[in-house]
Structure formats: structure tokens, C-alpha cells
Structure 1
Amino acid sequence: MQQPDLTTRLARLKFRAWHRGTREADYMVGGFFDRYHADWGEAEIAWFEALVDEEDVDILSWAFGTAPAPQRYHGPLLDAFQRIDYVNI
């Protein structure tokens, strides 16, 4: 099966980022997507696709640093996700 084009992948990710199931996660994950996705290449898109497959409670705990994120998420995107000012998105 062929991979969807970039526009389709980003549209799906935007929807998934903003429809998490909890308003807090919507703002955090969706706000992060809106702020950074324009600069992403294939590696960053694949990272975010994997992240949105995770449970909200896990994503939020990684963002706030109350639980360690799995090694596969470590790097500049996780660093940015943890630094973002979610109050002023």
C-alpha cells in the first residue's frame, strides 16, 4: 500500500493532534503541532505520528517531565515539546 502524500499526512496529524479526547491534551499536542509542523521533514513527521499513537496521560507526563519519555522520543522535538509555553499558544 502506498503512503499518503505529505498534505494528507499533515491533515491527518492536525486532526489527531486536536482531537485527543481531553481538552488539555488537545491544547498541548495540537498547539505543538500548529507551532512547529511547517518546519518538519520526514523524520519529524514520523516522530509525531508515533507520538499521537500514545495515550494522553503518557504524553502529558512526558511534556511536564513527571515521567521519563521512552528513549525513542528523546531528541530535539521532545525538548521543544517540553519547553513550549502552553499557556500562550
Structure 2
Amino acid sequence: MDARRRRILFRAGHRGTHETDLLVGGFVAETLGAIDEAGLDALEAVLDLPDPDLFDWLTGRRTVPVEAETPMLRAMVDWAQARRGVLRG
């Protein structure tokens, strides 16, 4: 794995809140190998979003606002929603 991908993977799993670390880090760990350079740019933009917003969107507490909606964020939300029962244990 190249340095950029390692850095993104670390950043995704060390955001500051445990719950968001699990959601974002899980998505990145599972999909990182298939993401191209443009996708990495899009992923880094999602990682720049505030934890509380990301957590609310990924858990379905709030709908992603139109101005924040991107294909990468939509993929992450869809991934998290598909795993809701699994992640709750």
C-alpha cells in the first residue's frame, strides 16, 4: 500500500470519536484498494467533514444535505446503512 493510502486509512480510523472511527474506518478499510486517484481526492474531502455531521449522516439520524452530497459520501452512507445491524452487534 502506498503512503497516501496508508495515511488515509490511519486518518479514517482515528477521527476522534469511537463510533465514527468504526464507521468511516470500516468503509475505508473495505474499499480503499479499489479507489482510484480521483476517488482518493473525494475520500479525503469526506474525511475533512466534521465528525458529528458524518456520524449523523452515516447512522441515518439526519439526511445528507444537498450541498454536502457527493458520490463518495453517498457510497459511505450506503455502506454504513447496509451494515447497521452488523455494527450494532
Structure 1: runs of 5+ lacking an equivalent: 1-5
Partner residue in 2 for 1:37: 32
How many matched pairs?
A: 83
Partner residue in 2 for 1:9: 4
Higher mean C-alpha deviation, range 52-61 or range 37-46 = 52-61
What's the RMSD between the two structures over aligned residues? 2.1
Contact kept? 1:14, 1:33, Cα under 8 Å:
yes
In structure 2, C-alpha distance between the alignment counterparts of 1:33 and 1:21, rounded to whole Å: 16
What pairs up with 1:56-75 in 2 under 5 angstroms?
A: 56-65=51-60, 66-69=62-65, 71=67, 73-75=69-71
Structure 2: runs of 5+ lacking an equivalent: none
Which secondary structure state, in structure 2, belongs to the residue aligned with residue 68 of structure 1?
A: coil
* TM-score normalised according to structure 1 size: 0.77
Instruction: Show structure 1 runs of 4+ deviating over 3 A.
Output: 69-73, 86-89
* TM-score normalised according to structure 2 size: 0.77
Distance 1:16 1:86, change over 3 A: farther
Q: Residue 51 of structure 1: CA displacement?
A: 1.2
Partner residue in 2 for 1:3: none
